[in-house]
Amino acid sequence: MTPPTASRVGSDARGPERPPDSTTATLAVIVMGSPADRDHAGAIADALRGFHIDVVQRVGSAHRTPEHVLAILRDHDADPRPKVFITVAGRSNALSGFTDPQVAAPVIACPPPGPEIDAWSSLRMPPGVGPAVILEPVNAALFAAKVLGAHDPQVARAVAAFQAAQRDRVTTADDTLQVAQGTRDEGSP
């Protein structure tokens, strides 16, 4: 069995899915520090969509275009839907610390991997600035879905289904290993 991904969530009989072109009850705004962060942000966006969350991706630098970032944040913070902001910025991650005190919604920092990334810039924030830091794109999407699932039952069901699939993947792998080792007969508990 291949490992389940968030994009596969929602393919069972949990109820009707929203058409891909409709607006969902929840929103995730991904703000990248530069176009170089697009692949990492895209992995987050794909996983979020698997949880039935609308996604907006934007590019803005806290260092080079702070007014532009502020306009992005104001625009999306005004959207009445429950939301999270996810910042994707490498090197010196000023974007997360810049974003968090400007918005009422939770902020998740998900810096892209690489040797030039300063992880401490995502972890050390001044008092009153508290973005969560999650390094894996699917895990950042999962955390966002858990937050937004409190506002949208469809998102909550998608989270539960994703978690069940993760548990099933592990127990299936263990069953397969036990049978291959001859320590258990196929089909026995």
Q: What is the pLDDT of residue 18?
A: 39
**12 close to 157: Cβ distance less than 8 angstroms:** no
Examine the pLDDT at 23 and tell me if it is beyond 70: no
**Tokens standing for residue 160:** 């539960």
Phi, psi of 149 (to 5 degrees): -65, -20
Residue 118: band (very low, low, confident or very high) from pLDDT cuts 50, 70, 90: low
Residue 11: band (very low, low, confident or very high) from pLDDT cuts 50, 70, 90: very low
CA–CA separation, 32 and 24 (whole Å) = 22
Q: What is the model's pTM?
A: 0.82
CA–CA separation, 19 and 15 (whole Å) = 13
**73 close to 33: Cβ distance less than 8 angstroms:** no
For residue range 57-94, what is the model confidence (pLDDT) as tens digits? 999 999 999 999 999 999 999 999 999 999 999 777 89
N-term to C-term CA, the chain: 19
**33 close to 61: Cβ distance less than 8 angstroms:** yes
Examine the pLDDT at 5 and tell me if it is beyond 60: no
CA–CA separation, 147 and 167 (whole Å) = 21
**Lowest mean pLDDT: which of 35-44, 82-91, 107-116?**
107-116
Domains of the chain listed by start with CATH number: 6-181 (3.40.50.1970)
Q: Which of 160 and 19 is assigned the larger pLDDT?
A: 160
**107 close to 91: Cβ distance less than 8 angstroms:** no
Of all residues in the chain, the percent with pLDDT exceeding 70 is: 80
CA–CA separation, 74 and 5 (whole Å) = 32
Examine the pLDDT at 147 and tell me if it is beyond 80: yes
For the residues 37-53, what does the mean pLDDT come to?
97
**32 close to 59: Cβ distance less than 8 angstroms:** yes
